[in-house]
């Protein structure tokens, strides 16, 4: 078909994921196996690769039963209870919590300590039950409200102070909309403006991908967005592509690609989530060349 693949050089793993994978690979040079609490990255093919070099993914139930071994905590972070269990079970911890997430955990805890004496509310804009969000909730003993959309805002008490944070991988424009709606409701309830505090805690590296992907999507005829089905960041970034270029398709692997998506000689933009490895983007490009 003479298709021209173009790989987005700004797509691929974010710093936190790169750091976690490097630390895991370094450990496995001298050891046969490493337990990871949850998948290091939400990408099935990369998880399979990591499994092949010795990474065993476990959940919190298996964590309770693991003793005298080494545990990797991934970039998403964990609540304090996880570290307590690790200490109790004599586990050596390789802590790969992303520095951006770690800073957010600290800010959230501080914000909670400041607002609680006034019977205030901590609001986290994020995906319910997401690993990062669970880690954040653990910093405040679960005493926070997680909102995914405007419907979730009804349960907030707008008569007392409110402090808002965001999961690090959310869409900046969606966060702005949520904040605007909270401000509106707080004003209607008579809450003084200085009693509502907003912290834009979205990772700068992630937020910069939105304008980049809009530009990238507009400059190519067809977009192939490579991402694992479990990646929440992938869902958000794909919508950015789709809103700019209707001929955007989300795939997990090359076998998902249909030749009917393309016309001869078209430019095919290949991009992905912060959980998509560069090797997978390059492999997709090679496949497009072969069509």
pLDDT, tens digit, 9 for 90 and up, residues 101-155: 999 999 999 999 999 999 999 999 999 999 999 999 999 999 999 999 999 999 9
pLDDT, tens digit, 9 for 90 and up, residues 27-46: 999 999 999 999 999 899 99
Residues 6 or more apart whose Cβ sits within 8 Å of residue 230: 39, 42, 44
Domains of the chain: 4-12+207-290 (3.40.1010.20), 15-98 (3.40.50.11270), 100-202 (3.40.1010.20)
Per-residue confidence (pLDDT) for residue 42, from 0 to 100: 87
Q: What are the residue numbers of the active site?
A: 132
Per-residue confidence (pLDDT) for residue 217, from 0 to 100: 98
Per-residue confidence (pLDDT) for residue 48, from 0 to 100: 93
**Which range among 89-103, 104-118, 203-217 shows the weakest confidence by mean pLDDT?**
203-217
pLDDT above 90: residue 73 = yes
Mean pLDDT taken over the chain: 95
Q: How far is CA 150 from CA 15, 59, 146, 181, 184, in A?
A: 31, 31, 11, 7, 12
Per-residue confidence (pLDDT) for residue 231, from 0 to 100: 86
CA distance 16 to 137: 20
Q: Which two tokens stand for residue 218?
A: 């507009």
**Band of pLDDT at residue 247, cut at 50, 70 and 90:** very high
DSSP 8-class letter at 20: H
CA distance 56 to 72: 10
Per-residue confidence (pLDDT) for residue 1, from 0 to 100: 86
pLDDT above 90: residue 233 = no
Per-residue confidence (pLDDT) for residue 230, from 0 to 100: 84
pLDDT above 90: residue 232 = no
Please report which helix (H) or strand (E) contains residue 205, including its range: helix 204-207
Per-residue confidence (pLDDT) for residue 35, from 0 to 100: 97
Q: In the predicted model, what is the mean pLDDT of residues 219-234?
A: 93
Share of the chain above pLDDT 70, in %: 100
Q: Which pTM does this prediction carry?
A: 0.88
């Amino acid at each position: 078909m003479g298709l021209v693949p173009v790989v987005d050089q700004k797509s691929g793993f974010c710093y936190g994921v790169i750091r976690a994978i490097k630390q895991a690979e370094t450990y496995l040079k001298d050891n046969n196996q490493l337990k990871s609490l949850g998948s290091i990255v939400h990408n099935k093919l990369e998880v399979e690769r990591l499994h092949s070099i010795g990474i065993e993914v476990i959940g919190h139930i298996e964590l309770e039963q693991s003793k005298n071994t080494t545990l990797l905590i991934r970039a998403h972070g964990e609540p304090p209870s996880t570290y307590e269990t690790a200490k109790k079970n004599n586990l050596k911890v390789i802590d790969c919590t992303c520095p951006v997430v770690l800073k957010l955990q600290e800010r959230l805890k501080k914000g909670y300590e400041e607002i609680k004496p006034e019977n205030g509310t901590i609001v986290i804009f994020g995906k319910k039950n997401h690993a990062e969000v669970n880690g954040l909730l653990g910093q405040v003993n679960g005493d926070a409200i997680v909102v995914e959309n405007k419907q979730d805002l009804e349960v907030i008490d707008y008569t007392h102070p409110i402090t808002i944070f965001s999961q690090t991988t959310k869409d900046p424009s969606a966060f702005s909309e949520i904040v605007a709606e909270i401000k509106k409701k707080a004003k209607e309830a008579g809450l003084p403006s200085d009693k509502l505090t907003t912290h834009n805690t979205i990772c700068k590296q992630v937020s910069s991908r939105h304008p980049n992907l809009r530009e990238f999507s507009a400059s190519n005829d067809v977009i192939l967005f490579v991402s694992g089905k479990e990646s929440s960041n992938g869902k958000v970034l794909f919508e950015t592509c789709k809103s700019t270029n209707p001929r955007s398709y989300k795939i997990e692997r090359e076998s998902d690609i249909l030749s009917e998506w393309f016309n001869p000689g078209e430019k095919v933009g290949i991009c992905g989530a912060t959980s998509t490895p560069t090797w997978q983007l390059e492999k997709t490009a090679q496949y497009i060349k072969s069509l």
